[in-house]
Structures are given as structure tokens and as C-alpha cells.
Amino acid sequence: MTTTGSPVSAPPTHQGGAAPRHRNAPPSREARRRERRSRWYQRDVKWSPYAFVAPFFVFFGAFSLFPLLYTGWASLHKVSLTAPTDMEWVGLRNFTRLFEDDFFWNSLGNTFTLGVISTVPQLMMALGLAHLLNYKLRGATFFRVAMLAPYATSVAAATLVFVMIFGRDYGMINWALGTVGIDPVDWHNDKWTAQFAISTIVIWRWTGYNTLIYLAAMQAVPKDLYESAALDGASRWQQFVHVTIPSLRPTILFTIVVSTIGATQLFGEPLLFNPGGGPNGGPDRQYQTLGLYLYEQGWTNLHLGRASAIAWVMFLLLVLIALVNWAISYWMKKSELGRKAARRRS
């Protein structure tokens, strides 16, 4: 699905290297210069990719590798936040105990349902909004910045506003329901209402974020693709489906990967939804996610070892999802090829 780059292996100055050489007629200064340039050029082509990716890996190695290794090491130990360097070896116990940990499975389930009901609508809406923003608009910059306003709003303000909206006794939604004669809903205490409410917060917060990502990609779609599609009589909708979407495929893939990771680590929104402010996700843990459970174990219960194990399980879970994804696309490609071959044969 991707066009992979093909660096040019034959630079124009290459012929310099093939300049005739005679032992007693030293190469002209020009030729030597060209040769030097050529060698330099080849080295440039060979090594510059490494130079380009190096800063990321250098900074990552300097500041993220140690925390990663520490977390991995801590997951095999009993260790408390009161003394983070004082570890007691427990082997895989922090992992095996998760099998019997009801709270873990509960949060895993919540993470999954919340992930689905918040990620799918969010990405669809973002795609639509990006398409609208990609029109010629008056005040385009204003709309773009406004899209990002939810992401920029401080958590303290968002918390207060959503408490006002979803409050049981004095919330705005229940007030509105009351005016049409519907009984108030206790948004926080029922599992599904709570998850619905949280997913609206997630959608509110992140749709604009993804919208801008799509918008950037749309800016790069070649105009003549639209022109030729229009010449073929394609409607705006058909252009969107047949020109915009295919051109956005790498970016859509990107948002799906990032949103999946984000959904697995979902943390801030359920935390701010809890009126008490705690990480337990309600009295019945009805909206505790893996991210919150990890936070509760690490920062409230101070069990760094257990929290680290949860973190690594979340990581492995994502790797698993990636592998399954890869396998599915592999098989689909293969069967498609098989079908094509079969068609050709017949």
C-alpha cells in the first residue's frame, strides 16, 4: 500500500570516478575534485539515513531506555514507592496473579468497550470534519484552532464542566430530560451510562486532534487527481471516497494505530469523570480502565512492582493486537492474490 523510497544509486557526478587515469599523467584537479565529491556523495547516501534517525534514538536511549528497563525489572519484584530502589525478587508473581485479579479483568473489559465506543465515532467524525475544513473557508484558521480547543482546555476546567453536564441532581442533561418528563439518569453509577458519558468526553477531546492530522494529509492530495475525477463525472462524495480516502491511507493507518494505543492507555478522561477524583472508576469500578488500575496500583497503593507488571501486560497486549492485525492483512493479501491467480487461470 505504500510507495517505498528508492534512493538514486547513480549520482550524476559518478562519471568523475570513471575519468581516465594515467600513471604519469596525474588526474586533473577537476577530476580529483569530482572523485572526491563522488565518494563524499556515496557516503552521504549511505549514512545520512542513519544520521536522520539518530537523534530520535539518542534521546530515546538517554531518557526513555532506563525507565523502560527499570519498569521491566520492577515488574519482577516487590517494590514500593516509599523506597523505589529497595526491591525484593518475586519472579513472575506480579504477572501470574493478574489471572485471578478480578479488578484487572474488569478494567480490561472496560478498556475494550470504552475503546470501541469512543475511537470509532471519533475517527469517522474527524475524517468528515477534516474534509469540511479542507474547503475554501472564511476564517479557516479560526476553525482549525477551535478544533484543537478541547485538547487545549485545562483539565480542571473540563472536569468542572462535565460534572455540571452529567450531574445527577443538578446536571444539565438531567435538567433537559426533566423538562420533557424523563426521569433523571444517574450517569456515574450505571456501567453503561458512565461509559457512554466518558466516551463523549473522549470524543469531545480528541476529535479535533485527529481532524487536524487528516487535514494536513488532505492538503497534500494532488489537485489534478480531483480534476480528472471531476472530468470523469465523479460527484463530490465520489471524489471523497475514491480520491481523498485512498490518498490518506497511510495517515488513516497512523490514526488507527495511535488511537488504539491511546484507547488502551485511556486514563485522563475516566479520571476526570469521577467526581471524587480517585482512580477506582466508581464504587463498583464500573469505568476503571487499565490505565486507571495501573495508576491506582502505582500511585495510590504505592505498589510499583504490581503496577509495572500491568504496564508490561498493556504493552504486550498492544503487540498482540499488532500481530493479529498483521496476520489478518497478510492472509487477506494472500487470499486475494490466490483469487486473482485463480481468475487468471480460468
Partner 1 sequence: MRKTRTTRRAVALAAVAVIGSGLLAGCASDDGTDSESGGDSDGKTVITVGLFGTFGFQEAGLYEEYEKLNPKVEIKQTVIERNENYYPQLLTRLSSNSGLADIQAIEVANIAEVVRTQADKFVDLGKADGVTKEDFLSWKWDQATTQDGKTIGLGTDIGPMAICYRKDYFEAAGLPTDREEVGKLWAGDWQKYIDAGKRFQEKGPDGVAWVDSAGGVYNAAISSSATRYYNEQGDVIYKTNPDVQKAWDVAAEAATEGMTAKLQQFTKPWENAINNGDFATVSCPAWMLGNLQSKGGEKAKDKWDIAQAPKAGNWGGSFLGVPEASKNKEEAIKFAAWLTAPTQQAKLFAERGSFPSAQASYDTPEVAEAKHEFFDDAPIGPIFSQAAKGIPTQVIGPKDQLIQENIVGTGLLQIEQKGVSPDDGWKAAVKAVDNALDE
Partner 2 sequence: MSVLKSDPAPAGRTTAPGSGGDRPGPTPRGGGKLSRGRAGSAGGQHHGGRLTYAVLIVVTVIALFPLFWTAVAASRNNTRLAETPPPFWFGGNLFKNLETAWTDANMGLALLNTTIVAGSIAAGTVLFGTIAGFAFAKLRFRFRNLLLMLTIGTMMVPPQLSVVPLFMAIAELEWTNQLQAVILPTLVSAFGVFFMRQYLLEALPTELIEAARVDGASSLRVLWHVVFPAARPAMAVLGMLTFVMAWNDFFWPIIALNQQNPTVQVALTGLGRGYVPDQSVIMAGALLGTLPLLLVLTVFGKQIVGGIMQGAVKG
User: Contact positions toward partner 1, by CB under 8 A?
Assistant: 78, 80-85, 101-103, 160, 163-164, 167-170, 186, 188-189, 275-278, 280, 283-284, 296, 299-303, 305-306
- 3-state DSSP call for residue 88? strand
Q: Which of the residues 264 through 283 are near partner 2 (CB under 8 A)?
A: 264-265, 267
What's the min distance (Å) between Cβ of 80 and partner 1? 7
The cell for 144 is: 482549525
| Closer to partner 1 by Cβ: residue 115 or 282 | 282
Specify the 3-state DSSP secondary structure of 303.
strand
Instruction: Kindly tell me the burial class for residue 87, based on how many C-beta atoms sit within 10 Å of its own C-beta (0-12, 13-18, 19 or more).
Output: middle
Q: Are 76 and 227 in contact (CB under 8 A)?
A: no
Min dist CB 337 to partner 2, Å, is 21
The dihedral sign for the CA sequence 60, 63, 69, 72: negative
Q: Does 27 bind partner 2 (CB under 8 A)?
A: no
Of 36-65, binders to partner 2 (CB under 8 A) are 37, 41, 44-46, 48-53, 55-57, 59-60, 62-64
Nearer to partner 1, 200 or 244 (CB): 200
- Which residue, 22 or 135, has its beta carbon nearer to partner 2? 135
Nearest Cα residue to 207 out of 261, 255, 156, 273 = 255
> Which of 185, 261 has the CB closer to partner 2?
261
CA 69/CA 240 separation, integer angstroms:
46
Within its chain, how far is the Cα of 210 from the centroid? Answer: 10
> Is residue 222 part of the contact set for partner 2 (CB under 8 A)?
yes
Grid coordinates given for 342? 485463480
Residue number with CB closer to partner 2 (136 or 344): 136
Closest approach, Cβ 78 to partner 1, in A, equals: 5
Is residue 289 packed enough to be buried (19+ CB in 10 Å), middle (13-18) or exposed (0-12)? buried
Q: 3-class SS at 284?
A: coil
Q: Tell me the closest approach of the beta carbon of residue 206 to partner 2, in angstroms.
A: 11
> Running DSSP on this structure, what letter comes out for residue 80?
B
Answer with the entry of partner 2, partner 1, none that 134 interacts with (C-beta below 5 to 8 A by kind): partner 2
The strand pair at 77-78 and 88-89 is best described as antiparallel
Distance of CA 32 to the CA centre of its chain: 50
Q: Would you count residue 318 as binding partner 2 (CB under 8 A)?
A: yes
* Closer to partner 2 by Cβ: residue 85 or 346: 85
Instruction: Say what angle helices 102-133 and 140-152 make with each other, to 10 degrees.
Output: 170
Report yes or no: 205 and 158 within 8 Å, Cβ to Cβ. yes
Residues 86-115 that bind partner 2 (CB under 8 A): none
If contact means CB under 5 to 8 A according to the sort of partner, which of partner 1, partner 2, none does residue 61 touch? none
Q: How far is the CB of 77 from partner 1 (least distance, A)?
A: 10
CB of 174 to partner 1, least distance (A): 11
How many Å apart are CA 187 and CA 76, to the nearest integer? Answer: 39
> Contact with partner 2 (CB under 8 A): which of 21, 66, 178, 329?
66
Whose Cβ is closer to partner 2: residue 25's or residue 51's?
51
Is 45 within 8 Å of 10 (Cβ atoms)? no
| Candidate ranges 101-109, 128-136, 188-196, 332-340; the one touching partner 2 (CB under 8 A) | 128-136
**Smallest distance, partner 2 to C-beta of residue 268, A:** 9
Q: Which of 104, 209, 273, 287 binds partner 2 (CB under 8 A)?
A: 209
**45's grid cell:** 547516501
Whose CA is closest to 259, among 203, 315, 196, 316?
Answer: 203
**Interface with partner 2 includes 13 (CB under 8 A)?**
yes
